[in-house]
Structure 1
């Protein structure tokens, strides 16, 4: 009899603990499916040419405005010199057209009818054309000088250079990314929660974050946003323009997962966030009940 009572008591205690755990899970959504994310800036040269100097190494921390590497500027310097010469010529042509117009206008004032109207009109057109050519020459020079500046590639943000695989002499192409810069001020944790958990959270809730790489350094965060949609595979067009529909078992309905963006409140000095690493996230009960 005593053994039965002990057994019943243990079953009751187990049931109570299971109920408490379940209630805790319901009120505090939790997921192990979370990752560290950050804004990735693609460092993209705006001119083409061989790399002549490299000032950083792979996985190095850089400051905004720091020089990363240089591209051979000889071709662009030559284009700049040519543009300056063309600008000088355009100024001379404009000056000559203005002088001729002034001379003929003065002659017409002294002796009315000495200069045909069509001649004056043509001279005025020459001045306007020379002025337009001058403005075009200025634009060409501006573009040439910009290209010279673009041969020096700088970091646009404080962050970390990664996947830097170019070497001196390598040929880079304009508008083709060559290296990634991780913005160190943009790190966040993205957790993927079941759709059944979304109703228990809201923007502004606090969260507990455990990084797999730092299991003994729990972090706190704040829910920034909750995803409004995910991609659907059913209904997408397959071969022969037919819809692609996955088989579905009526007795099994898997909950979809939605991304929840969580900002990290404070980062200990001995913890370094790295993009793509794994984390666990739990939305705290106090924040849910407070909402």
Structure 2
């Protein structure tokens, strides 16, 4: 009799544990389909040329404003000198046009009718054109200075350089990315929760995050936002401008997964966040008072 009562008690406890676990799961959504994310800045040179000096190593930490690499600046120095010479010529032409207009204006004032009105108008136009040439030449100098400055490429964010696979002497092209810079202040966790769990997930909820690479060091986060859409295959426009529809329809519909963005609140000293690594996330809904 005692053994039966003991067995019955164990069964009741097991059922209670299952029910409690189920209730916890339903009210505390959990997923192991989560990834570490961060903003990625593509380091892109603004000018073309061979790299002459590299000041950082691959997979190294950098700070905003740190010099990463330099591009051969000789042609840009020559371009600046040429632009400065063009500006000097434009200023001389302006001074000459202004002197001629001033001389003719003084002559006309002293002896009315000595200078035709058309001549004065043309001289005025010459001065205006010379002023415009000086402005254009000044812009040319500014542009040449910028190009020269762009031969030095700096980090725009504090973070980590990764996938830096170029060497000194390599030719880089303007507006073509060279290396990735991970913004060290932008890390977040993106958890993909089933749509059936979204009822219990809200912005401001607390989250417990565990990285697969650091299973013994969970840390806390806060739900920032929930995604409002995911890509769909059905309904996409085909090459014939008709909607593409999957002909197969399963009797069991699988719940879609919606991305939930989670801000990291505290991080153990032992943990280093790396973009793309796997995590598990449990959400603790806010207690409504």
- TM range, normalised to the smaller chain? over 0.9
Give 2:71's aligned residue.
71
Pairing 1:93-172 to 2, within 5 Å after superposition? 93-172=93-172
User: Structure 2 unaligned runs (5+)?
Assistant: none
Distance 1:120 1:162, change over 3 A: same
Name the Cα RMSD after superposition: 1.3
Question: C-alpha distance in 2, partners of 1:136/1:271?
Answer: 55
Question: C-alpha distance in 1, partners of 2:185/2:9?
Answer: 54
The answer to whether structure 1 residue 235 and structure 2 residue 235 are counterparts is yes
The TM-score with structure 2 as length reference comes to 0.96
Question: C-alpha distance in 1, partners of 2:219/2:129?
Answer: 68
User: Structure 1 unaligned runs (5+)?
Assistant: none
The answer to whether structure 1 residue 38 and structure 2 residue 38 are counterparts is yes
Question: C-alpha distance in 1, partners of 2:15/2:237?
Answer: 49
* Alpha-carbon shift at residue 219 of structure 1 (Å): 0.3
The answer to whether structure 1 residue 249 and structure 2 residue 250 are counterparts is yes
The TM-score with structure 1 as length reference comes to 0.96
Question: C-alpha distance in 1, partners of 2:241/2:125?
Answer: 61
Question: C-alpha distance in 1, partners of 2:241/2:6?
Answer: 66
Contact 2:36 2:187 in 1 (8 A): yes
Q: 1:173-226: CA deviations, max 9, x gaps? A: 000000000000000000000011111011111100001111111100000111
3-state DSSP of counterpart to 2:229: coil
Q: 1:154-175: CA deviations, max 9, x gaps? A: 0001000000001000000000
* Alpha-carbon shift at residue 289 of structure 1 (Å): 2.6
3-state DSSP of counterpart to 1:225: strand
Give 1:277's aligned residue.
277
Question: C-alpha distance in 1, partners of 2:114/2:263?
Answer: 82
